[in-house]
Amino acid sequence: MALSETSIDPQLYLVEQTRWRPAEIVFWLATLLPYLLFPNYLSLASQIAIAALFALSLDLILGYAGIVSLGHAAFFGIGAYTAGLLSKYGWGEPLSGLVVAAFAAGVVGYATSFVICRFRHLALIMLTLGFGLLLAELANSLGWLTGGMDGLQGIHTWKLLGTFPFDLYGRAAYAYALAVLFVLFLFTRRLIHSPFGLSLRGIRENFVRMPAIGAPSRAHIRTIYTIAACIAGVAGALLAQTTETVSLDSLGFERSAEVVVILVLGGAGRLYGGLVGATIYLIARDQFSGIVPQYWYFWIGILLVAVVIFLPNGILGGLAQFTARWSRK
């Protein structure tokens, strides 16, 4: 979106953006509510936090830099398998596992970014889709390493910080996932409200003109793509560690598609889009499938169609429009 005030000082604008709004503080305090109100839903809450982190990483490239990806699960899967394999072969310490997973996903992200930064739009969809499928097939054929169709067996995650075990109720799992989500969110927030983040939005709007005003489009895209890959890898590693399972679905097409749906639902190009989208999508999924295990996709479909028709910029986009109209009156 273009700025409404055109003659604003860019630095002041960015500083203004980084200020914490009351709604944000309420949002993050609300993430602690499951411990008080829904102690039986903590494992769902932890999977929501993980999906939110994954959607946040996609938002960086899709929402801010305009890189359409249908293969983002590749990095999620690399992170998941890295953490899973580390644990299987004797190193189940969760935090260091995250770092290694982020590194592994980042390396692959950096390597592929050289191709990604040369294409836009439709070609990108095909490229990322193809890359995702290639990786999924590779994991399938490396059955001796990945466990193939049956998934990786023998993952055991050590206690968090050496004290908190990952229990059946998901208490540690949620705290862990939420803390990682929060830290990486802070990082993302800072990044987006930096001159670099601003130039990403410029690249999204006009790829060719940005280099003319001193922002090298391709280099910026390589950077953000690598960062997004790292964060997606962390999300995958979190899922592998908290559930102690990894299987081919973690890098399958469906996961790539689902995260796009989550982001579009919440609102792409908004920091909280992925977070809100993941919360609503996964809770709706859980509730609908609890009521009708066979036909719940029908209701998810209705929800998506309704959101796209009535709130074309996602739930947050719709909310923003609504409040803007309301405050003008």
Partner 1 sequence: MRRILLAGLSVLALSLLPVAGHAQGTVKIGLIMPYSGQFADAATQMDDGIKLYLKQHGDKLGGMNVEIIRKDTGGINPPVAKRLAQELVTRDNVDIIAGFVLTPNALAAADVSSEAKKFMVVMNAATAIITTKSPYMVRTSLTVPQLTETLGTWAEKRGLKKVYTMVTDYGPGIDAEGAFQKGFKDAGGDIVGSVRMAVQNPDFTAYVQRAKDLDPQGIFVMIPGGAQPGAFGKALAGVGVDPKKTQVMGQLEIADEHALASMGDIAEGIITAAHYDYNHKSKMNADFVKAYNADFKRNPDFFSIGGYDGMHAIDAALKKSGGKTDGESLISAAKGMSWESPRGPISIDPETRDIIQTVYIDKVEKVGGRLVNVQIDAIPNVKDPIKAAMKK
- The contact set with partner 1 (CB under 8 A) reads 40-41, 43-44, 47, 140-141, 143, 148-151, 153, 168-170, 239, 243-250, 254, 289-290, 293-297
Which residue number, 42 or 221, has a Cβ lying nearer to partner 1?
Answer: 42
| Residue 148 beta carbon to partner 1: minimum distance, rounded to whole angstroms | 5
Which residue number, 151 or 216, has a Cβ lying nearer to partner 1?
Answer: 151
Q: For every residue of the chain, which 3-state class applies, written as one string? A: CCCCCCCCCHHHHHHHHHCCCHHHHHHHHHCCHHHHHCHHHHHHHHHHHHHHHHHHHHHHHHHHCCCCCCCCHHHHHHHHHHHHHHHHCCCCCHHHHHHHHHHHHHHHHHHHHHHHCCCCHHHHHHHHHHHHHHHHHHHHHCHHHHCHHHCECCCCCCCECCCECCCCCCHHHHHHHHHHHHHHHHHHHHHHCCHHHHHHHHHHHCCCCHHHHCCCHHHHHHHHHHHHHHHHHHHHHHHHHHHCCECHHHHCHHHHHHHHHHHHHHCCCCCCHHHHHHHHHHHHHHHHHHHCCCCHHHHHHHHHHHHHHHCCCHHHHHHHHHHHHHHHC
| Residue 240 beta carbon to partner 1: minimum distance, rounded to whole angstroms | 8
Which residue number, 172 or 316, has a Cβ lying nearer to partner 1?
Answer: 172
| Residue 30 beta carbon to partner 1: minimum distance, rounded to whole angstroms | 21
| Residue 283 beta carbon to partner 1: minimum distance, rounded to whole angstroms | 13
| Residue 52 beta carbon to partner 1: minimum distance, rounded to whole angstroms | 15
Which residue number, 143 or 312, has a Cβ lying nearer to partner 1?
Answer: 143
Which residue number, 43 or 223, has a Cβ lying nearer to partner 1?
Answer: 43
Which residue number, 84 or 269, has a Cβ lying nearer to partner 1?
Answer: 84
| Residue 167 beta carbon to partner 1: minimum distance, rounded to whole angstroms | 8
